[in-house]
Amino acid sequence: MSRVPKQSEKAIQLYKDDTAYMQMLYDALALDESEEAEINRAVIQAVMDRSNAVLQCIERDEPFIASWYPYSAEFLTAMDVTWWMFAQTAFLGIETPHVLEDIDGGERLLGSDFCTVLRLLLYYVEADVSPKPSALVALLHPCDGTTIVHQAIKHGKWADVPIFGADPPYWEDERAIEYYATEMRRLVDFVSEITGKKLDIDRLREVCEQSNKIYALWQEYNDLRRAVPCPHDWTIGPPQAFAMTTYYHVGKPEGEEWFKKLVANAEKRVNAGVSGVTGGERIRVLWFDILPLLWQWDIQPWMESEWGINIVMNMFGYTPFTPIDTKNEKTMFHDMAKRSLNDFPMVRQARGVADNFLSDIERIVKDYKIDCVIWPGHMGHKDGAASIGMMREKCREIGVPFLHIGLDLFDKRYTTPDEVKDQLNRFFSSHRLG
C-alpha cells in the first residue's frame, strides 16, 4: 500500500511554481559576485533542494512528513526522513505572487484576528494547494493558534493524514524535560511507523555531534555580531542561520560548511571595521520577534537608509542553544527535548511563563550593545501582547527605549509600511536616537 497520499495536481503545480520562483531569485543573486551573495545563494539552494526532495518523494511514492522547527529534528536527519517545515511558505520571507490572495483565503476560513501564518496553513490545506504528507507532526505550542489550527487541519481535508502532537509542559525544569523526552520518543515511534524507518542510535549520535558543531559556529557568528559596527545588516545572518540550523541542514556537514563561510565573512568584516549598514550604523536595534518576513523590503531598507538602523539581533537569531550530550540514548533524548522546549526561538519565550521574554531582552541588550528594543506586536502573538507591560518595564529598568508597534508580520495591509515608518520616526526622534 502506498505510504504517500494522493496529491492534488494544483498542489504539486504550486509547489513547483514556488520552487521556480526561488530559482529566479537564485539566478538574480548570481549576478552579485560578493561573498555575502554567495552565502545567501546557498540558503536558497537549500530551500530548493528541500522542495525537490519532497517532490521526489511524491514521484517515487516514498513517505515524507510535515513537521515544525521546534522539534529538534536531529532524529529526522538520523532516520533519513524527508520533511518540510509546515509553515515554510510564510517563513521563507518571500512575497510570492499569490501570497496576499492566499492570506485573504485564510481570512475567509478563520477571520482576521487569527495569526496570518496559521491561517495560511489551513487555507493551503483546505484549498488543496499543499502537498499532502504521509503524516503531520502537529505543534501544540507556543500559542493557542497552533494548538487549534492543527485540529482544524485534521478535521478537514487531511482527515486521513495521521497526526501526532507532543504534549508540551509549561515548565522548563528537569521534570518537564524528562516528560517531553518521553513525548519525543513517542514521536519517533510515530514517525517510524509511518515511514518504516528506524532510528539508529549510533547514527543519531553522529548527527547530534554534527549538530553541536553547527550550533557552536552559530554562537561564534553571533559573537561577531556584537561588534560595533555590526558586520552584517538584516539581509544576512540571523534568519538564514536559524533556517539552516533548525531546518535545512540539521546535523549535516553542509550546515557546518555554510556556517564556516558565514563566520569567515563576518570575521573579515569585523577586522576591517566594515559596517553591515551602507552609510554607517547609527542605531542598534533588537527586533524582538520574527522580521516582517513578507514585507521586509518595504521597511528594512528604509530603516537603514533613513536612520542608519541595524537590526543587530532578532528573536530568531538569538541562540542560547545548549549542546546535546551524546553519551547515550537517554542523554540525547533528554537534550533534544531540552532544546525543543527551552532553546528554539519563540517557543523559548512564548511557551511558558514570561520570564524568558524579559531575561532574553536583558541579555541581548547587554551583549549586543542595543540602543533600543522594538516589539513589533504581531497580531497573532496574543501572549506577547499580554507581556508588553512587563517588557516595557524591563527596558525601563535597564535603560533602553522600548517601542510596541502593533502590526502583522506577514500582511502589510494590517498596519501599512507608512504607518509603521511614522511610528518609528516619532520613536527615534523622541528618544533622540540616530
Partner 1 sequence: MGAWKGENELETKVKSKALQEFQVATETIVNPELKKWIDQGGKVMGYFCSYGPEEVITAAGVLPMRVRATGSTSTELADAYLSSINCSFCRHALNAGLSGDYNFLEGVVWLNNCDHVRRIYDNWWRKIDTPLAHMMSLPKTSTDLQVDWFHDELVNFKEALEKHLGIEITNEKLREAIKVHNETRRLLRQLYELRKRDNPPITGAEALAVVVASTAMPREQFNQMLKELLDELGDADGITDYRVRLMLVGSILDDPNYVKVIEDMGGLVVTDSLCFGTRIFWADVDEQGDDPLQALAKYYIQDKQACPRMFDRQPSRSKFIQDMVKEFKVDGVIGLRVVYCDLYTGELFMLDKDLKTAKIPLIRLDREYAVVGAGQLRTRAQAFVESIGGRR
Identity of the residue, 105 or 377, whose beta carbon is nearer to partner 1 in the bound complex: 377
DSSP 4-33: SPPPPHHHHHHHHHHHHHHHHHHHHHHT--
372, β-bridge pairs: 285
User: From the centroid of its chain, how far is CA 82?
Assistant: 18
Give dist(CA 50, CA 15) in Å, integer: 11
Identity of the residue, 90 or 277, whose beta carbon is nearer to partner 1 in the bound complex: 90
CB of 234 to partner 1, least distance (A): 25
CB of 382 to partner 1, least distance (A): 4
User: From the centroid of its chain, how far is CA 311?
Assistant: 16
Q: Are 311 and 300 in contact (CB under 8 A)?
A: yes
CB of 414 to partner 1, least distance (A): 11
Identity of the residue, 29 or 152, whose beta carbon is nearer to partner 1 in the bound complex: 152
What is the residue type of 266? A
Identity of the residue, 175 or 369, whose beta carbon is nearer to partner 1 in the bound complex: 175
> Measured between alpha carbons, how far is residue 245 from residues 73, 248, 251, 349 in Å?
10, 7, 8, 19
CB of 158 to partner 1, least distance (A): 13
Q: Which residues bind partner 1 (CB under 8 A)?
A: 109-111, 113-115, 138, 140-141, 143-145, 147-152, 154-156, 165, 167-171, 175-176, 179, 182-183, 352-355, 377, 379-380, 382-383, 385-390, 404, 406
Identity of the residue, 116 or 240, whose beta carbon is nearer to partner 1 in the bound complex: 116
**Where would I find the beta strands (DSSP E) of 253-354?**
283-287, 309-314
Can you say whether the dihedral through the CA atoms of 379, 384, 387, 390 is positive or negative?
negative
**C-alpha cell at position 124:** 493551503
CB of 114 to partner 1, least distance (A): 5
**C-alpha cell at position 91:** 517563513
Identity of the residue, 187 or 312, whose beta carbon is nearer to partner 1 in the bound complex: 187
Identity of the residue, 8 or 182, whose beta carbon is nearer to partner 1 in the bound complex: 182
CB of 273 to partner 1, least distance (A): 40
Q: Are 20 and 5 in contact (CB under 8 A)?
A: no
Q: Are 221 and 255 in contact (CB under 8 A)?
A: no
CB of 386 to partner 1, least distance (A): 3
Identity of the residue, 181 or 336, whose beta carbon is nearer to partner 1 in the bound complex: 181
Q: Which of 234, 282, 287 is nearest to 403 (CA)?
A: 287
Give dist(CA 321, CA 238) in Å, integer: 14
CB of 143 to partner 1, least distance (A): 6
